[in-house]
Amino acid sequence: MTQSKEIWRKASILAIAGGLAFCAATFAISLTPIAAEYRDALSISYLPMIVASLIGGLIIGFFVSYFLLRFFDKIPTKNPILKSGILSFIVLIIVAILLEGPSYFLTPTSDTLRYFLISTLFNVLRFLALGIVIGYLHKRLYKGFNPSVIASKSPQVE
């Protein structure tokens, strides 16, 4: 039981760092002129966008962190930064297909494809920042941590 609590605690630490990186990337992107045009075209308010990116970043960061810790040995590379980058890319594809695609093609703008591509580029940068921070923090904090040992323990053993 304590080992499963430990994986949740570690995932939470990584998720907070990843969520903050996601929000920081959103803030940095929002300072560009193309982001201002994008927000104006889609009538997106600035402060709710930042708050939503923090909440979304925490949720995405938690999923990436948990799956990084839970399936660490099954992800095909040795570097934790690349592993979390792969997981972030998978989540990006899921978000783009399930959420972004349908919403943009139902938005009443004249340049739907252009804004979809701009949004996808912004998300690539944000998800990349999230993956790099989670992988880097995992590498720094959990050098001797082997998640496969925790994942393979059955509840009957404890």
* pTM, 2 dp: 0.81
Question: For residue 75, which of 62, 84, 63 has the smallest C-alpha distance?
Answer: 84
2's tokens: 């304590």
Give the model confidence (pLDDT) of 134-145 as tens digits. Answer: 999 999 987 755
Calpha distance 143→83 (Å, rounded): 14
Question: Which of the residue ranges 84-88, 94-98, 109-113 would you say has the lowest mean pLDDT?
Answer: 109-113
- What does R_g of the chain's alpha carbons equal in angstroms? 18
